[in-house]
Amino acid sequence: MTKKEYDIVVIGGGPGGYVSAIRAAQLGLKTAVVEREHLGGICLNWGCIPTKALLRTAEISHLLKELPAHGFTAGELSFDLATAIGRSRKVAGQLSGGVRGLLKKNKVTVIEGEGRLTGPGEVSIGREKITARHIIIATGARARELPHLAADGDLIWTYRHALSPKRMPKKLLVIGSGAIGMEFASFYQDVGAEVTVVEALPRILPNEDEAISALAEKIFSRRGISLHRGTEVAALEKKKNNVTARLKTPEGEVKKEFDTVLLAIGIVGNIENLGLETAGVKTDRGHIVTDPYGRTNIDGIYAIGDVAGPPWLAHKASHEGVICVEKIAGHSPRPLKADLIPSCTYSRPQVASIGLTEQAAREKGHEVRIGEFPFVGNGKAVALGETDGLIKTIFDAGSGELLGAHLIGPDVTELVQGFVLARKLEATEEDLMETVFAHPTLSEAMHESVLAAYGRAVHY
């Protein structure tokens, strides 16, 4: 049987894979995507999108508690978790179907199955074999588990179980306080669960600026989420209907009981069963080693997205895919700079950042100017009744370069893109101070934070 030939075959149909394929097709390359489960990958089906649908439910739950302040009187409300989960799955399904439509529109062939490298320029999907001059691995990642912290889908969950639970947890332990952990902690606490979060490191949201982490801890604690920093889980002892967690705290070991435990201790790349060893592709600590254009150590084999290492973000994967394909096509794309990739956590409050933290900037030798502006000084935030949070900007004192921006508060995952653009265009403090921000908007807090770095804040 004649093998089907392509210019590019992408293994994995997530945000990195399907965007790569579409861009390749736009550039006139005959392209196929191999996907073993659902188009859109973990992000669209079991991550970014369904979690945001659930967090919308949590936001509505929060707003319902504010009805009296707005003149509304309502009877007793009830919450049905199954309905909320059903809506989130419907949203994911709609967008997965949309990805299929986009690939069809761009004449990308979709092959269902598990792809594996079986020879130079060859991919096997079951009994079918196809060939390509260029093979892009975009297989993503999965939840990390440890031998003494293994999920069973019943009492101990990963994020996938948390997105399709069989029951509503009453007492939930979240292990890990990164973006995944805090988003689920925020959701389940908003809809009625008693939530405890443990973090082995000295602060929650450990990748964020220290000032943001500290304020986030205060706000989450005020909401009623129990936070334990510098705490490790020594063991989980499963019983019939609950789990006893042995926690090693700075004060000593304690035992606490929960009916559900959620593991949010990071992710690991899907590098197994791809034929990487046979092909000679170099890996390191669970991810594929690449250069700035996604090229591995083997000619014609590339890797992008989560499988190629941190930061594990969908938008990073998509952009890497475009860069990789444009390089293959003979263009001259610019390599992706990690400090131009925004990071977002969609909890309540939201958290977002771009560039260097204050500590990182100082460690790099910068003399810095710091601006902070709280949302309590922003008219739109006061009108919304959402005044928790602040915006922090970091500038090089000599050049005026914006080194980093760190935000916590209402809709900051939308606001951060302004700072991303400013860094991309190498805007200085003067450019930003001279920019007119519409009134009344939350974005005015961005402007005031810049002004504050130079002693010119007006409204606080």
Residues with a catalytic annotation lie at 439
What's the half-sphere exposure (Cβ side, CA atoms, 13 Å) at 123?
A: 31
Q: Cβ(378)–Cβ(459) under 8 Å?
A: yes
Q: Cβ(416)–Cβ(389) under 8 Å?
A: no
Q: Which residues contact 12 (CB under 8 A, 6 or more apart)?
A: 33, 34, 35, 41, 115, 137, 138, 139, 140, 305, 307
175, 178, 180, 182 alpha-carbon torsion, rounded to 10°: 80
CA nearest to 348, candidates 58, 43, 115, 42? 58
How many angstroms separate the CA atoms of 344 and 323, rounded? 22
How many angstroms separate the CA atoms of 129 and 94, rounded? 31
How many angstroms separate the CA atoms of 459 and 444, rounded? 10
How many angstroms separate the CA atoms of 288 and 310, rounded? 11
**What is the phi-psi region of residue 140: left when phi exceeds 0, alpha when psi lies from -120 to 50, beta otherwise?**
left
Q: Which helix (H) or strand (E) holds 53?
A: helix 48-64
How many angstroms separate the CA atoms of 219 and 386, rounded? 12
What's the half-sphere exposure (Cβ side, CA atoms, 13 Å) at 386?
A: 17
Strand partners of residue 54: none
Q: Where are the beta strands (DSSP E) in 156-295?
A: 156-157, 171-175, 194-199, 226-229, 232-238, 243-249, 252-258, 260-263, 267-269, 283-284, 287-288
Which amino acid, one-letter code, is at 215?
Answer: L
Handedness of CA 306, 311, 313, 317 (dihedral sign): negative
Q: Which residues contact 16 (CB under 8 A, 6 or more apart)?
A: 41, 138, 140, 304, 305, 306, 314, 317, 318, 320, 321
Strand partners of residue 4: 130
Neighbour count for residue 123 (Cβ, 10 Å): 27
Q: Cβ(249)–Cβ(214) under 8 Å?
A: no
